[in-house]
Amino acid sequence: MRKNVFKVFAACAAVCFVSGLVIVNGGPGTAEAADGVICNYDFNDGELGDVYGNSAKVEIVEGLNSTYDGASGTDGACVKVSARNGYWENSAFAYKIDKLEVGKRYTISFDARHDNGVAEKYETDNRAMIVHYMPDWGQIGQPVAVPNEDWEHIEWQFTLPAEYADKTGDKFIYLEFAYPEAVESQGDAYKDPNKEEYYIDNFCIKEFVAATPAPVQSPTPSPTPAPAVETPGTVLPPIVEGPDLEVGYEEVVKGITYKVTGKDTVSVVGFDVPKSALSIPASITLEGYAYNVTAINAKAFKGDDIKSLTIGSNVQTIGKNAFQGCTSLKKITIKSTVIKSIGRAAFKKTSSKAVVKVPKAKKKAYKKMLTNAGLSKKAKVK
């Protein structure tokens, strides 16, 4: 399960419907219509479509966009949500869902970001992104941590219950933004008002299409997992068990080659299609199942022309020479708080002007590990 999912649920949600969790890297793609696609906005055309602000202002801003689809982060547009009244649960990015059918399974995905810095009360720069469908306050997925000055890709599956068809009035989805209250305060979770600005990009809703498993050479076929059954008021666990792909099996996802290392883990082998902005996700999807990305292999990107790097929250080890000779690498963001080792010369001969953003609690330990792995002493770790 992804490490940046908050462990508490919004107290205002009267009914929760949580479906199987599907985690992928990358945005929803182009804005062209396709079968089963309800909406797919990258906002680069300057149009909001059916997006609006509920007790908030939404506007398209140029020169800022998600990097999850391989973009530079400054060559497109996104939606800024501002002028919020403080009631985070209804002062939000909103989208009309009159076109959605009850009983049909959908996938919602989007990229979120904020630039509000550290919330001193909670001693973190993360914020919580929560999704509800209205007017039922039906929660979709779980609260997800959104880091400061970086994009987080969020993707869930959901089904509108049969009784939703009888609802009158407007029907819509909220993408809500709140402070990340502690697990111990579950009885009063997410009570603090929040008027902060946030950003949304690559907003997409489409009909869910189950993955068609590719043939796997195995003497014994793996049993097909029983589908989760959604019932009102029930929180179902994410589907995280894999289809028992053989250790060593490799597959390319979004231009990066991954190798299966365990029942639900993979390592990063390297580029299949080189890109200047490299984002290693917390998890990927293989054969319809989520696999945590826990390692970056030795020499995975040695000598590649990478300018920016994001390391996902589940990475535990970085192999020797992994990024050696990436002389253009100046921007590094490490989301993981569980890195145990960084191999020899992993960051040797990267730019001396590099700026490395790490989790606040890990700054001292990671700075030492990075320096020992060849990061220039002139580089900034913050």
- Arithmetic mean of pLDDT, 45-53: 93
Q: What's phi and psi for 371, nearest 5 deg?
A: -65, -45
pLDDT band at 20 (very low <50, low <70, confident <90, very high): very low
Beta-bridge partner residues of 128:
145, 178
Alpha helical stretches, state H, the chain? 363-372
pTM for this model (two decimals)? 0.54
Average pLDDT over residues 81-107: 89
Residue pair 64/74 in contact by the 8 Å Cβ criterion: yes
| Beta bridge mates, 258 | 251, 268
Of the listed ranges 6-20, 272-286, 296-310, the one predicted with least confidence? 6-20
Say how far residue 125 (Cα) sits from the centre of its chain.
Answer: 16
**Would the pLDDT of 37 be above 90?**
yes
Which pLDDT score, from 0 to 100, does residue 208 have? Answer: 86
Domain 242-381 sits in CATH at 3.80.10.10
Q: Which residues make Cβ contacts (< 8 Å) with residue 129, sequence separation at least 6?
A: 112, 143, 144, 145, 146, 152, 154, 175, 176, 177, 198
Q: Tell me the DSSP string of 168-237.
A: -S--EEEEEEE----GGGGGGTT-S-B---EEEEEEEEEE-----PPP---SSPPPPPPPP---TTEEPP
The predicted model gives 91-97 an average pLDDT of: 94
C-alpha separations of 89 from 17, 86, 129, 135, 292 in Å: 17, 9, 10, 12, 31
**Residues 255-282 as b or e (16 or more Cβ within 10 Å = b):** ebbbbbbeebbbbbbbbeeebebbbbbb
* Same-fold call for 15-207 versus 242-381: no
pLDDT tens digits, one per residue of 103-151: 999 999 999 999 999 888 878 888 989 999 988 788 888 888 888 888 9
> With 60 as the cut, is the pLDDT of residue 35 above it?
yes
Which pLDDT does position 222 carry in this prediction?
A: 60
pLDDT band at 244 (very low <50, low <70, confident <90, very high): low
For the domain made up of 15-207, the CATH class stated in words is mainly beta
Report helix, strand or coil for 165.
Answer: helix
Token readout for 37 is: 């696609």
Would you place residue 169 in the very low, low, confident or very high pLDDT band (cuts 50, 70, 90)?
Answer: confident
Could you tell me the residue ranges of all domains in the chain? 15-207, 242-381
68 pLDDT higher than 80: no
Greater pLDDT, 167 or 83: 83
CA distance 304 to 114: 30
Name which residue leads in pLDDT, 262 or 221: 262
Q: Tell me how far apart the 2 most distant CA atoms of the chain are, in Å.
A: 64
Q: How far apart are CA 325 and CA 90, in angstroms?
A: 49
Look at residue 323 and give its three-state secondary structure: coil
The pLDDT of residue 198 is: 97
Residue with tokens 């696609």: 37
Report residue 366: phi and psi, to 5°. -70, -35
pLDDT at 232 over 50: no
Which residues, 6+ apart, have CB-to-CB distance to 324 below 8 Å? 299, 302, 303, 345, 346, 347, 348, 349, 350, 374
Comparison of pLDDT for 77 and 19, the residue scoring more: 77
Least confident of 285-289, 345-349, 377-381: 285-289
Query: Which of 185-199, 218-232, 291-305 is predicted most confidently?
Result: 291-305
Please say if the pLDDT value at position 32 is more than 70: no
Average confidence score pLDDT of the chain: 81
- What are the angstrom distances between the C-alpha of 224 and each of 107, 227, 289? 21, 9, 11
Whether 10 has a pLDDT exceeding 90, the answer reads no
Q: Is the pLDDT confidence value at 225 over 70?
A: no
- For the record, the structure tokens of 381 come out as 């770790």
Kindly state the tokens that stand for 284. 């990927």
| Structure-token pair, residue 160 | 């509108």
Q: What is residue 206's predicted lDDT score, i.e. its pLDDT?
A: 93
pLDDT level of residue 191 (50, 70, 90 thresholds): confident
